[in-house]
Structure 1
């Protein structure tokens, strides 16, 4: 088989970043646009996913298209735009699942929130390695830090299809709760999996943790 006809890699998940939040507790800001030394959280996360060996990358965006579209393009990510305002997290999950099932063949799906400033390629690689070693009965995996579920979440193709077949008002959390025997919780000590940005206090804590690096809004 020549290099031009190699079969697609189905062992590495495709990834979709969920970046459609309204950022209300941040005064109406796109969380993924927050910058560390001039590089946005979205760009940093895109680089981390690429560094972990993920090639197929999408980004769900919502009300901040003008800010996030250029950032997504610098990541080489396909943009999935919500068709309406006020979309919920479940709406974002549904859009991501629909796109994945329509476009990504037999690959699994990695979903990750856009506002995880400490997440690196090494963190993602560790989860991917554990995913490849999972038992055949496992269809979902997430890191758990001190009892708190984190991100990224990885779903098998089979799980993605099963979730997509449930009523549209139900999200991924509902399916996970109803199928605990198919979910692998990976105990981890790294706070990067659960440290997100929701409030101005979170931004100030990030500034303190990363000083003297510059944390700023565009």
Structure 2
């Protein structure tokens, strides 16, 4: 697994706790005919740019982006200033592999020292903006925090994982379940942050969903 940082001046959140952003953008778009989701066009630019910007504008720093399908093409075409790019060679395994790759990279990075939590977003949910990220991010109280956006009471993304949970999530993340099993087992600790008033969690999964892109 390799990762590197695209250079730029990094903004600061201006206060504690420090919360990283983790964008899962490795999917190959199998149900989209093999069109990698990171490279779908949104606002005239690759969708991955929009999603990474949402995390940064929502107060996350640093921002890690996990790439997989067409990773080299994403690196060549997407502008991701200040983001740490993480390669997931096992991207075809599903979301679980990308979540493990991102959290492991965060755990081992000098640049991430002092980070108390990570807000996890998916690249294919363009209706989730910086306001929802900021609202979930604000639920961080310590490395033990655990929170998730909710939409009319139903758990969704973004998800906030306190650093004390990263090792457990890495052990449990499998296939497309991501952190689902880990969160289910700890639902008594999980803060649900209602976001239906400010975000739309619909994802881009099939050609019928492409109308959600601008």
TM-score range, shorter chain: 0.7 to 0.9
Q: Which residue of 1 aligns with 2:123?
A: 114
Distance 1:146 1:56, change over 3 A: same
Return 5+ residue gaps in structure 1 as ranges: 1-7, 208-214
Structure 2 unmatched runs, 5+: 1-13
Alignment deviations for residues 90-147 of structure 1 (CA, whole Å, 9 cap, x no partner): 1111111111111222411111101111222222222222x14x6x796311111134
Deviates more, 1:14-23 or 1:39-48: 39-48
Q: Give the number of the structure whose alpha-carbon radius of gyration is greater.
A: 1
Helix, strand or coil at the partner of 2:150: strand
Indicate which of 198, 202, 206 corresponds to 2:205: 198
Which residue, out of 40, 58, 61, partners 1:55? 61
Structure 1 position 177 matched with structure 2 position 170 = no
CA distance in 2, matches of 1:137, 1:84: 28
Equivalent positions of 1:31-70 (< 5 A) are: 31-70=37-76
- Which one has a larger percent strand, Structure 1 or Structure 2? 2
Conserved in 2, the CA contact under 8 Å of 1:23 and 1:198?
Answer: yes
Give the corresponding residue for 1:127.
136
TM-score (norm 2): 0.80
Deviation string 1:41-99 (CA, Å, 9 cap, x unpaired) is 21112222222222201111112113322355534311111134623211111111111
SS at match of 2:180: helix
Aligned mates of 1:86, 1:65 — CA distance in 2: 12
Q: Deviations over 1:164-186 (max 9, x none)?
A: 3x356584212111111111111
Contact 1:145 1:191 in 2 (8 A): no
Q: TM-score of the superposition, structure 1-length normalised?
A: 0.78
Structure 2 distance, partners of 1:30, 1:143, is 25
Cα distance, 1:78–1:150 mapped onto 2, change above 3 Å: same
Q: Is the 8 A contact 2:39 2:74 kept in 1?
A: yes
Which residue in 2 is equivalent to 1:80?
Answer: 86
Show the counterpart of 2:98.
Answer: 92
Decide whether the 8 Å contact of 1:142 with 1:185 is kept in 2.
Answer: yes
Q: Take 1:100 and 1:61, find their aligned partners in 2: how far apart are those partners?
A: 14
Instruction: Tell me the number of residue pairs that the alignment of Structure 1 and Structure 2 aligns.
Output: 196
More helix by proportion, 1 or 2? 1
